[in-house]
Amino acid sequence: MPNYYTDNPELRFHLQHPLMQRIVELKERNFEDKNKYEDAPVDFDDAIENYNRLLEITGDIAANVIEPNAEAVDQEGPHLVDGRMLYASKTYENLDATRKAGLWGISMPRRYGGLNLPITPYSMASEMVSSADAGFQNIWSLQDCIETLYEFGNEEQRKKYIPRVCSGETMSMDLTEPDAGSDLQRVMLKATYSEKDKCWLLNGVKRFITNGDSDIHLVLARSEEGTRDGRGLSMFIYDKRQGGVTVRHIENKLGIHGSPTCELVYKNAKAELCGSTRLAHQICNGADERCPSGYCSTECRRLASSLCRGIDLREGTQTV
């Protein structure tokens, strides 16, 4: 049986890199979990054996489930039905296989149900999923949005959302709008605090959102009345179980058809604040110092680079 991991010595080489010793030490914090969790490694060799096992399982699923499904997924693509996005049929098989194998929330700490994987083996797994089907990789790898919630959310939010992602619920990062792409400072989706509902309500439109009908969304919105730049933006958590967001359109792209790129309409969608208001300001003020991997997720990195461009939030002054 083909296996995207065992058949690929160049990929396997990464675990033999001399820096892995230090990476494992940092991630496992002196192997402090070893007496608390059965699956926690007791030393470096044990950790590498764990990563190898997980990557072999990923390589097997990539070669024998995701890749054989890729052509059908690409031809069928996702569907828009009554304001909801439905994946191509075989995407559900891919999701099922990755869930059964426990390949969700894999970088999260064990206390929330994760495997505490460092970024290196996570990226190796991501590379294999991507080689099998780049469209499905978009859906699967958006699990790394949970890094942003872990970094900036409070403990209650971590306990509420991280186990859900570890059990296979999907995520999206909703930043772009029709008039705000490269320049995220122009984001206009409005967040208003409702005293009656005791929560924030989101109203507006997001565009080009990968996996936009996901279970848990991180949403960039304008919480500060009267502002026009990055200093008035905050990050929110929208839970699909709450309702209030519909899919208006799915882009018909040239490729990666299995990855749904959605336009979303927010109408009084109930949401929780992630971190404090004006989180965008905090991200530019040194998320890189707080996140071990630089910025905590790919989309968080894009957010930081777009918001910091043209405006120096550290000084609070416009530079262009």
* Chain positions contacting ligand FAD, by CB under 6 A: 172-176, 181-182, 208-210, 253, 261
The residue (of 110 and 309) whose beta carbon lies closer to ligand FAD is 309
| C-alpha pair distances (Å), 130 with each of 61, 124, 175, 256 | 12, 10, 23, 10
The identity of residue 125, as a single letter, is: A
CB atoms inside a 10 Å sphere around CB 49? 13
The residue (of 62 and 175) whose beta carbon lies closer to ligand FAD is 175
The residue (of 234 and 261) whose beta carbon lies closer to ligand FAD is 261
Long-range contacts, stretch 282-289, CB < 8 angstroms, 24+ apart: 282/152, 283/307, 284/230, 284/308, 284/313, 284/314, 285/313, 285/314, 287/151
The residue (of 2 and 181) whose beta carbon lies closer to ligand FAD is 181
CB of 173 to ligand FAD, least distance (A): 5
CA atoms of 179 and 186, how far apart (whole Å): 7
Spatial contact of 113 and 163, defined as CB atoms under 8 Å apart: yes
What single DSSP character describes residue 153? S
CA atoms of 190 and 205, how far apart (whole Å): 9
CB atoms inside a 10 Å sphere around CB 155? 7
CB of 154 to ligand FAD, least distance (A): 24
Query: In the complex, which residue's CB is closest to ligand FAD?
Result: 181
CB-based contacts of 152, cutoff 8 Å, min separation 6:
235, 274, 275, 279, 282
CB of 135 to ligand FAD, least distance (A): 10
The residue (of 158 and 207) whose beta carbon lies closer to ligand FAD is 207
The residue (of 22 and 253) whose beta carbon lies closer to ligand FAD is 253
CB of 258 to ligand FAD, least distance (A): 12
CB of 250 to ligand FAD, least distance (A): 11
CB of 145 to ligand FAD, least distance (A): 9
The residue (of 1 and 254) whose beta carbon lies closer to ligand FAD is 254
CB atoms inside a 10 Å sphere around CB 121? 26
CB of 169 to ligand FAD, least distance (A): 16
